[in-house]
Amino acid sequence: MNLLGLAWRSLVNRRFAVILTICTIALSIGLLVLVEQLRSEVRQGFYRSVSGVDLIVGARTAPVQLLLYSVFGIGDATNDISWQTYTELKDLAEVDWAIPMALGDSHRGFRVMGTSRAFFDHYRFGNREALQLAAGEPFDDLFEVVVGAQVARQLNYALGDQLVLAHGTGNVALQSHDDHPFTISGILAPTGTPVDQQLYVSLAAHRAIHIGWESGVQRPGAGVDPEQARRRADELRPNAVTAILLGLHTRAAVFGLQRRVNEYRAEALTGIMPGITLQQLWRITGLAELVLRVVAGLVVLAGLLGMLTVLLTTLSERRREMAILRANGARPWQIASLLVFEAGLIAAAGIALGVLLAVLVQVLAAPWLLTNLGLHIGLTWPEPWQLGILGLIFLAGLLIALVPAFMAYRRTLADGMQVKT
Tens of pLDDT, residues 261-272: 999 988 999 999
Same domain, 65 and 122: yes
Of 4-18, 96-110, 349-363, 391-405, the least confident:
4-18
Q: How far is CA 382 from CA 24, 287, 352, in A?
A: 20, 22, 12
The pLDDT of residue 337? 76
Last residue of a domain, one of 243, 272, 301: 272
242 plus 391 within the same structural domain: no
Mean pLDDT of 98-114: 91
| Mean pLDDT computed over 3-14 | 70
Q: Is the pLDDT of residue 286 over 90?
A: no
More confident residue, 8 or 192: 192
In a domain, 278, yes or no: no
Residue 405 lies inside a defined structural domain of this protein: yes
What's the pLDDT band for 421 if we cut at 50, 70, 90?
A: very low
Question: What's the whole-number mean pLDDT along residues 345-354?
Answer: 88
Last residue of a domain, one of 272, 296, 323: 272
Residue 59 · residue 80 · CB < 8 Å: yes
Q: Is the torsion defined by CA of 175, 178, 182, 183 positive or negative?
A: positive
For the residues 390-414, what does the mean pLDDT come to? 77
Predicted pLDDT of residue 131: 92
Q: Is residue 280 part of a domain?
A: no
From residue 383, alpha-carbon distances to 32, 47, 298 in Å are 13, 19, 21
Average pLDDT over residues 115-142: 90
- The predicted pLDDT at position 297 comes to 83
39 and 125, same domain (yes or no)? no
Predicted confidence band of residue 241 (pLDDT cuts 50, 70, 90): very high
259/375 Cα distance (integer angstroms):
32
- 204 and 79 share one domain: yes
Percent of residues, the chain, with pLDDT higher than 90: 29
pLDDT band at 376 (very low <50, low <70, confident <90, very high): low
Query: Would you say residue 261 lies in a domain?
Result: yes
The pLDDT of residue 373 is 58
Domain containing residue 112? 55-272
Separation CA 180–CA 201 (nearest Å): 12
Q: Do 267 and 294 fall within a single domain? A: no
pLDDT digits (tens, 9 = 90+) for 188-228: 998 888 898 899 999 988 888 877 665 555 555 556 677 77
- 193 lies in the same domain as 235: yes
Same domain, 100 and 244: yes
- In a domain? residue 350: yes
279 occurs within a structural domain: no
Dihedral sign for Cα 28, 30, 31, 33, please: positive
The answer to whether position 241 is within a domain reads yes
**Residue where a domain stops, chosen among 247, 272, 297:** 272
pLDDT band at 174 (very low <50, low <70, confident <90, very high): low
Residues 209 and 327 in one domain: no
The number of domains in the chain is 2
Res 411: pLDDT: 64
Comparing C-alpha atoms, which of 229, 235, 177, 198 is closest to residue 120? Answer: 198
The alpha carbon dihedral of 282, 288, 293, 296 has a sign of: negative
341, 10 contact by CB (below 8 A) = no
Same domain, 42 and 59: no
The whole-number pLDDT of residue 179 equals: 79
Pairing, β 124-125 against β 129-130: antiparallel
Same domain, 298 and 239: no
Distance CA 376, CA 191 (A): 8
304 and 345 both lie in a single domain: yes
- Same domain? For 389 and 265 the reply is no
- The per-residue pLDDT for range 303-348, each reduced to its tens digit, is 888 877 777 777 666 666 676 676 666 677 777 777 788 788 888 8
Percent share of the chain, pLDDT over 70: 83
Residue that wins the pLDDT comparison between 129 and 306: 129
CB-based contact 173:111 (threshold 8 Å): no
Q: Is residue 165 part of a domain?
A: yes
Alpha-carbon span 150 to 110, nearest angstrom? 10
Q: How many residues does the chain have?
A: 421
Query: Is the predicted pLDDT of residue 91 greater than 70, yes or no?
Result: yes
